[in-house]
Structure 1
Amino acid sequence: MSATTDRPASPRGSAQGLPARLALKSEGPPRGLLDGAWWPRSRELSAELPALAAALDHRWGRITRAAVNPRHWPDVPRKVTWGGRVMKVGWFDAELDPHTISLVSQTGRRELLVIPPEAGAPSAERLMAGAIEDEGPPRTASALMAGEEARAYGPAPGGARDSEEAWEDEGGARKPPTGTAPTP
């Protein structure tokens, strides 16, 4: 895992000259829905994408395309240029998870969870760890974000119930406490 979480996120500002804050799954066959997580310092894609691409070049090859859902990005440029390089940028409202960035390189397509720039370091670290976790069922970027929001603010009214409560309501039975026999 590679993560840099020691700098606070600035709501506005440039990422130029600062390393990308990333957590990436280890090399090997693809596992799960996400390949890692990215914590940009601002919502300015044209300022953030060069550092992200530079950080991934040695691992995934030259990043040539990026796609985002525009819900969380105020301006989505058609292309980003830096150092003689060009990355085409697209946006897809309905097809792409709003908390994901899709990157295309010479070695294929990869998906990263995008952690909001204004997230605190403890929250960002939990989200990064969740994005690269290989245990349990694969989780989407939106599911990870919802889990973190529930942790921070409590479950939404009328929101998801714990799995045991849902199981019982659907006809399953709760397990009796340890050391007791089930009632007939």
Structure 2
Amino acid sequence: MTIWEKFINNVRLRRAVVLALIVVALFALRGLMNTILLTFIFTFLVVRLINFIQKRVKIPSLMIVIVVYALILFGVYFVVIKYAPKIFNQFEGMVKSVIAFYQNPPKGANDVVSYISDYISKSDITAQVKNGAAILFQSITTLGSFGVSVFMALLLSFFFTIEKDRMFSFSRNFLKGPYSWFFKDIRYFANIFVNTFG
């Protein structure tokens, strides 16, 4: 028996190596991890919803997928249209109230204003403003990249769920052939992950 055959027959060692390769691959793709996990979550939820609905009503899965993603897009559109202007108006109102406070301070506020002025004159306000602007810019950038990740995950999960049956039949082809052990071990870990997540 060759070393390769011994390795293939040693299931524990083989699965440890496959798990290490999966960890290395996920580490290499760590920049896309948000998109990968969100795609998995959206796909998992929609596939579970399709199975739940089809147990009760015989509706084609394509119709369910289109309706679900249309509702998701409508919900995102509704949230952006309804709440984005409110958030902007509240931010604008906050800025106006701060400006109004400094222009016309109420009675007894002179002590607070003088304390703030002393604090500003003693501290390095330029460095603090730069630090605050950097944090604000980083937050906006993070929010934008997360929005792109959510959009890409929705799009990828939409295509996956539309072609769910073809994808499953295509992936079953990997379970045959000389390297089927590798894909069976990947399926083993994927089943553990999906069952734990579920």
TM range (shorter): under 0.3
Comparing both structures, which one devotes a greater share of its residues to helix?
2
TM-score, L = length of structure 2:
0.22
Comparing both structures, which one devotes a greater share of its residues to strand?
1
- Which structure's relative contact order is higher, taking Cα pairs within 8 Å and 6+ residues apart? 2
Which is greater in Rg? Answer: 2
